[in-house]
Amino acid sequence: MQLGEFELLPVSDGSFALDGGQMFGVVPKPLWQRKVPADERNRIQLSLTCLLIRTGRLNILVETGIGDKFDARFKDIYDVRHPPTLLTSLESAGVKPEDVHIVINTHLHFDHCGWNTRRVDGKTVPTFPRARYLIQRGEWESALDSSERERASYIEEFFRPAEAQTEFLDGDSEIVPGIRVEVVPGHTRHLQCVRIESEARCAYFISDTVPMAAHLAYPWIMSLDLYPMETLAAKKRLLPELARKKAIVIFPHETTAPWLRLVERQGKITGEPVA
């Protein structure tokens, strides 16, 4: 999709599964399973959608999926389904790892930074040898010093071996003209979303603030969120603004479509397919 001067391309790292109860928080199963069916282990399938932004000069990659540095037990618990992988999807778009200039991670949970690194001859190295990796400093610090409640979400090997190429951001920042990161606390304290604006059009990589289209409804908030009331406040602030702009919202985990156009209909914010 062309958005003004930028080309946006969803790139998939396949899918994985999480417990449906974790994904929908206070929403009871009879309600959520009508929209998203669960398997016999109560898991729902989630896409691993990353976004490639081509500025004409730079290839900017938002998120790196779940990667491949896990054992059979992890693969079974999370039902990881490859291919495609992020690397095969990039290759189909004609992009080699060395062609990626900037990697933006919204946060460092294992399903968002998996391909930041890869194993080569028993050593874990940055996957994108020439890229600058951009992450909020506070997110990096929480990932390395996580509490018992969130520890299972962070795997150091997925991001730490790329530390020498990592730049730490302190709050909202412009990455290039037209592309900014904005800190949106809720899912984690320092989660950052990516705003893309060009020629009066807007696209927004909303990350786990709204992981799937079903989560556009205000009370549909993951029980995984560390600060769910802040997620709620962020949704009430962001979604009406994005709907006014008829922005394209890119979801990290929606399986039916990578993005939707936000619109407000009778006071309710919904997504429409992008023509």
Interface residues with Zn ion (CB under 5 A) are: 111, 208
Strand partners, 61: 52, 103
User: What is the CB-side half-sphere exposure of residue 136 using CA atoms within 13 A?
Assistant: 24
- Shortest spacing between CB 218 and Zn ion, in angstroms: 19
Residue 252 beta carbon to Zn ion: minimum distance, rounded to whole angstroms: 5
One-letter amino acid for residue 212 of the chain: M
Q: How far is the CB of 163 from Zn ion (least distance, A)?
A: 22
Q: Which is nearer to Zn ion, 111 or 197 (CB)?
A: 111
- Which CB sits closer to Zn ion, 111 or 230? 111
The Cα 94–Cα 81 span in angstroms is 23
Minimal distance in Å, beta carbon 66 to Zn ion? 9
Nearer to Zn ion, 197 or 208 (CB): 208
Shortest approach of Zn ion to residue 105 CB, angstroms? Answer: 11
106 or 166, CB closer to Zn ion? 106
Q: Which is nearer to Zn ion, 55 or 185 (CB)?
A: 185
Closer by beta carbon to Zn ion, 208 or else 230: 208
Least Å distance, CB 258 to Zn ion, is: 14
The nearest distance, CB 92 to Zn ion, in angstroms, is 23
- Minimum distance of Zn ion from residue 268's CB (angstroms): 25
Q: Count the neighbouring beta carbons within 10 Å of the beta carbon of residue 232.
A: 15
* Residue among 55 and 192 whose Cβ is closer to Zn ion: 192
**Which is nearer to Zn ion, 208 or 254 (by Cβ)?**
208
| Distance of alpha carbon 82 from alpha carbon 16, whole angstroms | 9
The three state secondary structure string of the chain is CEECCEEEEEEEEEEEEEEHHHHHCCCCHHHHHHHCCCCCCCEEEEEEEEEEEECCCCEEEECCCCCCCCCHHHHHHCCCECCCCHHHHHHHCCCCHHHCCEEECCCCCCCCCHHHEEEECCEEEECCCCCEEEEEHHHHHHHHCCCCCCHHHCCHHHHHHHHHHEEEECCCEEEECCEEEEECCCCCCCCEEEEEEECCEEEEECHHHCCCHHHHCCCCCCCCCCCHHHHHHHHHHHHHHHHHCCCEEECCCCCCCCEEEEEEECCEEEEECCC
